[in-house]
Amino acid sequence: MEWLGHAKVSFTHSTTPLALTKKDGTPTDLLTVCEEATPPCKLNPLLFNGHVQTMWTVMKNDGPPLHYKRKIFENEDPKFAGSFAVDFVTHPSQPFPEKDDTLPIRTTYFSEEEFRAIDSNDSRPMLVVLHGLSGGSYEIYLKHVIAPLVGAEGDKKWEACVIDSRGCAMHKVTSSVLFNARATWDIRQMVLWLRNTFPNRPLFGIGFSLGANILTNYIAEEGSACQLKAAVVCSNPWNLDVSSSALQRTWLGREIYLKTMGANLKKLIELHHDQVAKNPKLDFEKIRAVKYLNEFDRHVQCPTWGYPTEGAYYRDASSTDSLFAIRIPLFAINAKDDPIAVDEGLPYEEIKQTPYAVMCTTSLGGHLSWFEMDGHRWHARPASNFLNKMAFEVDVNPPAAENGATKDDQSSSGFNPIRRKWQA
């Protein structure tokens, strides 16, 4: 039983977790690394369940004072035409420029001269971050993870960038192609750009909520060719259809969570109306009548991507089956009382079938919350600990044969875990 905010911590994993080797030559495995990275979960006892934890996120302070420089990229694939913004963590100039009202707090654009000089041959680890639904680089839950990594001293210091979903974080939409729950096209291009620009930096990933779902799908689609060395996913909803159905069953689910998420997306699409309205498949009269997230998906995502129902979209975009195709170490962190990424949708059985993933579940924590007494977010501790262990303690470049199954092994049974129904 939980007592005064002390949550139970459990690990779900394969009976044969991925074998790893430390840089000093001693053997270890993925489960051991995840367990060692995870401290006890002691949360604020006044925030006594997942609803209270989750709703407390509206009581926002500024969080760690990270500074960003933004660069706008154009997607090179004509099927996914449009621009996306990437915010790179940077040290502020002295003095830091006055706030730009067209950008989030502590964010400025790179000058052309600054961006031309961004490439580097250093070997610092670099973190690629994907935020949650309609969020951005300013979100406190991700800054709590990034801040201790980029603020480390000496050779333990990280670099980091946040890929803002199209239209989010005050980025102007430039095409009718937005993002959805399996929008892997912008992160794919960005990872390749990072690999070429920083050839010696090991790349790692972390995703939150919807960004966790996208990141998991991306890692699976890349398979053994994935350029990321390891990744963390926090509050991944995993089975979107299960989560949607669970939310629709209760008053809180409908009138608080689905309504809030639907309103946020309606606001986002109205901000970019002139550009998005160029999509002839969208009926803005129906969109403006939307009340809940599932209705938004029905009238925006379904016609945009050709899904007949929002259920078909959710099933296709869910990342659970992607677990079978991942070929890098993946650490998943979820709360069992999460009212959005619900426990009944978590992939317990699927995790047991892959050596490449370990899932840590806490009995308390809510959705992207895990508030401790001092306002810190607990999830930042295991996430940053895991990333530091993988970057500085574990050999992340082992011979391919040591990683067990290959991508082809999964398809030999006739089941292709990343075969999608939607195609460009």
Query: Could you count the other beta carbons within 10 Å of the beta carbon of residue 18?
Result: 25
Catalytic member of 319, 321, 338, 379: 338
Does the active-site annotation cover 338? yes
User: What is the per-residue DSSP string for 177-215?
Assistant: ----TT--HHHHHHHHHHHHHSTTPPEEEEEETHHHHHH
Query: Could you count the other beta carbons within 10 Å of the beta carbon of residue 72?
Result: 14
State how far the alpha carbon of 218 is from the alpha carbons of 159, 185, 226, 264, in Å.
21, 8, 9, 25
* Spatial distance between the Cα atoms of 21 and 36, rounded to a whole number of angstroms: 15
- Give me the torsion for CA of 296, 297, 301, 306, rounded to 10°: -120
* Spatial distance between the Cα atoms of 150 and 147, rounded to a whole number of angstroms: 6
* Spatial distance between the Cα atoms of 423 and 48, rounded to a whole number of angstroms: 44
Catalytic member of 367, 369, 379, 384: 367
Q: Both tokens of residue 229?
A: 């060395």
| 187 contact partners, CB below 8 Å, separation of at least 6 | 128, 130, 163, 214, 215, 218
Query: Could you tell me if 224 and 422 are in contact, meaning their C-beta atoms sit under 8 angstroms apart?
Result: no
- Give me the torsion for CA of 239, 240, 241, 246, rounded to 10°: 90
In 37-177, the DSSP E strands lie at: 41-42, 67-74, 83-90, 107-109, 126-130, 159-164
Catalytic member of 209, 235, 322, 363: 209
Burial class (CB in 10 A: 0-12, 13-18, 19+), 112: exposed
Exposure letters 223-259 (e unless 16+ CB within 10 A, then b): beebbbbbbbbbbbbbbbbbbbbbbeeeeebbebbbb
Q: Both tokens of residue 47?
A: 């925030």
DSSP, collapsed to helix, strand or coil, labels residue 257 as helix
Distance of CA 324 to the CA centre of its chain: 18
Query: Which residues are annotated as catalytic?
Result: 209, 338, 367
